[in-house]
Structure 1
Amino acid sequence: MNLEEIKDFILAHKQYVIAGLIVTGIVIWTKVGNAGDANQQNTSDFNEVASTTTADDKAATKDSDTEPAKTQSEPTKTQTNSEVTCDISGAVKKQGVYTLKTGARLQELIEAAGGTAENAQLKHVNRALILQDQDKVHIPYRGEKIKADDIISSVNGTKTSSTSASADTTTSDGAKTSGKINLNTATAADLQKLNGIGEKKAEQIIAYREKSGQFKKIEDLKEVSGIGDKTFAALKDQLEV
């Protein structure tokens, strides 16, 4: 069939050709519309999935950020020292360093040291005082004159409000402003500063003082074993009571 014949056929059957074109157009339009709806539905589903995923990710991130914060907010447990160690000297039976429970009072320290000596002076000593770690305690002898600050001293500062004793110009090492050593207040270290007095003799002097009481005059020093007239003569000018 040539071109002329085709043209004549179309003209003869144009109503059928037009109807066919209309049907074809409708079919094509319907398919395009359905495809568009499908694409729109797919896009909506994708956005919903993406939104859900984003929300889950945010929740997971929030939980992840919160967890370390909880860990950091937990308080750190600290261990406290449950003991105090104190040094006691003076008119007690066993001078030395003792360890007691935190909150212990001075009376407990005295008991740990064997109790007080017979010549202890406790009138102005507050035995209910709560001790602190590294406290230095000196229980005065009867008639001993020392500064109130020297009875109890602490690494956190000298304590003066809870204990006191009669005070004069006596220094903390037992020597008065005259420069002489007081036989009734001197420590073993103080006594070793005297001419001819070593560690052993110093301990003998203190032992005599604790047993027999205060020296009434410097000549009483000769009653101590090992100290004769010659030794006394060499150091008498350095002594007082």
Structure 2
Amino acid sequence: MHKWKIFGFLLLAIVSTIYSFSKPRVIQKKQETALYVTLEGAFKKNGEVKIKEGMRMKELVEQVGIKDNASLAALDLERTLKPEARYYLPLKRSNAISLNKGTVEDFMTLKGIGKKTAEKIVDYRKSHVYTCLEDIMNVEGIGEKRYLAYRDQLCL
């Protein structure tokens, strides 16, 4: 009986020693970072809005709502939202120039747009389709400052 007590004690000591040197498993929780977009224009809620990863524009429109005079045609409702991006929804205007249908002469009516820039806007859509108003910034010579100045006068 005395042998078994010693054997049991040694076995317990060995197992305890091995266990004390093993590292504990670290369970990492997946931390979700909040995703935001900035809304401007005819959305009912402007400013920073929290979104879910993979959220589409139509879900955002349902979440925040739009004003009655919003030009919904200016948005690609199937577009997946990009965190930290800015989205602008213009008001309906009967005299807005369509990026996808406007002529060189139409674009030249915008203050500061000459023939060469108007031609670049039209040429861009020969190889690309304007899917949102911000796409005009892909045209050489039109940056964010000019886009902000023209966005109320444009539509898709």
| TM-score between the two structures when normalised by the length of structure 1 | 0.34
The structure in which a higher percent of residues are helix is: 1
Flag the structure with more relative contact order, 1 or 2, with Cα contacts below 8 A and sequence separation at least 6. Answer: 2
* Rg larger for: 1
